[in-house]
Structure 1
Amino acid sequence: MSSLSIHPLIQLKTRHQFRAKKPRKSIAIYASSDNPQSQRQQQLNLSVLRFTFGIPGLDESYLPRWIGYGFGSLLILNHFLGSNSDTTQAQLRTEVLGLSLAAFSAALPYFGRFLKGATPVDQGTLPQDAEQIFAMSQNISDAQKEDLAWATYILLRNTNTIAVLISIQGELCVRGYWKTPDNMSKDEVLDWFKEQIENIGLSDVKDTLYFPQTTESEIWEMLPEGTRSLLVEPVLQATVQSGNKTENNEGFILLASSIGYAYSDKDRAWIRATGNKFRSKSTCSEL
């Protein structure tokens, strides 16, 4: 356990490593494990698992590039310095094949970004005038705080997102770069976000809202300048009354990105699965 402090607004303890076998963090969302839809949901949630060395500042997604550079350099050194005799045709073919594999390994991260359909967020695309904050409501349990903190972390880490807001039953967790008024306390910031949500009408959203190419005139007041993609994923709870099935809005997940077309179909499906985990928790508490 280590202390996580992104902003002086709040400090809480969270885990750096995802523990898939932790009983309380069950991945299952629906009560029946035989349901094919539940199995698909579990597969989507497993996309959060990611290979990591745990070294701060190291992006493991570029590991194939450094491996390719390293082995390619060794092949070149071996060709010019490793032998004084004439190079055979078989050795040349082997070296060409090795260099080709090293080049493919070095280019693999670029292929991954291209196939995903978007480029990762870097420091050059982060908003300059927005404030990086991390705040959440205090009227929730420590377990819920940990869940919200972890969910916002993986959404920022695994998607092209610069700002994330999760609202569950009126309680908020806000993280990332936001355009907020200056000199506001923690409670005032959360109240300000709740006021913005009420003015926009996000509390009643029941359908996914995705704007892959927003313009400056469409940006809401709380979003940072330069927002190009916006996704609002509702968290719906199905209830059955008198044989009629209805869906009630339990909350929503709001994501903002500084690049256009930031969220692919796979990203949106995974984000929906993340929201459904909060829906299952509210269901279990009511049973």
Structure 2
Amino acid sequence: MSVRICNFPFYPLQPRASRCTRISARSDNDSSRSTSPDQQQQLNLSVLRFTFGIPGLDESYLPRWIGYGFGSLLLLNHLSASAPTSESQLRSEALGLSLAAFSIALPYIGKFLKGSEVEQRTLPEDGDQVFVISSNIGDSLKEDLAWATYVLLRNTSTIAVLISVQGELCVRGYWNCPAQMSKAQLHDWFKRKIDEIGLADVKENLYFPQYQGSAPWEFLPEGTRSLLVQPLVQNLDESQSVDGFLMVASTAGYAYSDKDRAWIGAIAEKFRG
């Protein structure tokens, strides 16, 4: 999977708990198509991402708490022993304490290797929180799109997500959209914006870790600093067909690490074809 990382201003494209989140998806055919149930494509979509889901708890510090816990148990076991401690037990305890110390230091090592702390996302003050989904798609696909957008907002620094599958949209999060619009009007408005920018023709992953804004993208949340576009490209023999795309935006700079982009790509892959 190739990813293009751009550090220049984003100009418009040319037209034309411990909780594991598991999604089981089935793609429903369009109402305009007449296919039998046996021909419906079944997607076994399993996207797992570990998180406690506790507000204010940073899971990146989990190794530290594990190290403190097991280190304390080793010391307690050593101090409570009544019989003389054998050399083999001392070596085992020393090894265990060394592993505990490494676990405690692991979060610091990770931050040192990254070079800087990851920025925290902030919610825009003037943005509108919307949830718009196309009405002419099956209930099962609607549910899959709703869950996919939810886990992206819940488990990454994303504040706005848009998924387009074969021309149908699911938009969720904070967006800079016109006020006092019905969901049907917002749906058509987002479609026009997508057509103006030319996102339907994107065939390569685009990642803008230092997005600086541009006029055609004014529908993005205020203060957007990271933008990722993941196309749903289907290889057909020697040609490629674009079935849609997945776009996420964040107010944090460098919001999506390699692991995040791979995980987002796995979600996008399940809606391809």
- TM category (shorter chain) comes to 0.5 to 0.7
The one-letter amino acid of 1:213's match is Q
- Which of 111, 127, 139 pairs up with 2:124? 127
CA deviations over 1:163-197 (Å, ceiling 9, x no partner): 21101122111122222233333222222212221
- Which of 26, 30, 44 pairs up with 2:44? 26
The match for 2:148 is 151
CA distance in 2, matches of 1:16, 1:90: 39
Quote the offset at 1:199 in angstroms.
2.1
Aligned partners of 1:117 and 1:264 also within 8 Å: no
Aligned partners of 2:210 and 2:254 also within 8 Å: yes
Quote the offset at 1:152 in angstroms.
1.8
| SS of structure 2 residue aligned to 1:274 | helix
Aligned partners of 1:65 and 1:106 also within 8 Å: yes
The match for 1:174 is 171
Aligned partners of 1:120 and 1:160 also within 8 Å: no
The one-letter amino acid of 1:263's match is Y
Aligned partners of 1:121 and 1:161 also within 8 Å: no
- Which of 216, 240, 262 pairs up with 1:247? 240
- Which of 242, 253, 274 pairs up with 2:267? 274
Residues 64-213 of structure 1: matches in 2 within 5 Å? 64-72=63-71, 100-112=98-110, 122=120, 125-213=122-210
Count of matched residue positions in the alignment of Structure 1 and Structure 2: 239
The one-letter amino acid of 1:64's match is P
The one-letter amino acid of 2:48's match is L
CA distance in 2, matches of 1:251, 1:148: 13
| SS of structure 1 residue aligned to 2:153 | helix
| SS of structure 2 residue aligned to 1:125 | coil
- Which of 251, 255, 262 pairs up with 1:258? 251
The one-letter amino acid of 1:253's match is L
Structure 1 residues not aligned, in runs of 5+: 1-14, 28-45, 281-287
Residues 43-58 of structure 1: matches in 2 within 5 Å? 48-51=47-50, 57=55
RMSD over aligned CA atoms reads 4.1
Residues 210-221 of structure 1: matches in 2 within 5 Å? 210-217=207-214, 220-221=217-218
| Cα pair distance change 1:168/1:19, threshold 3 Å | closer
| SS of structure 1 residue aligned to 2:124 | coil
| Cα pair distance change 1:21/1:142, threshold 3 Å | closer
CA deviations over 1:93-149 (Å, ceiling 9, x no partner): 887765554343234345456667885664x63333323333211211111012212
**Percent identity of paired positions between Structure 1 and Structure 2:** 63
The one-letter amino acid of 1:138's match is S
The one-letter amino acid of 2:100's match is A
CA distance in 2, matches of 1:109, 1:97: 20
Structure 2 residues not aligned, in runs of 5+: 1-18, 27-40
The one-letter amino acid of 1:133's match is V
Aligned partners of 2:157 and 2:250 also within 8 Å: yes
CA distance in 1, matches of 2:114, 2:244: 28
| Cα pair distance change 1:258/1:249, threshold 3 Å | same
The match for 2:16 is none
Higher relative contact order (CA 8 A, sep 6+): 2
CA distance in 1, matches of 2:169, 2:42: 22
The match for 2:15 is none
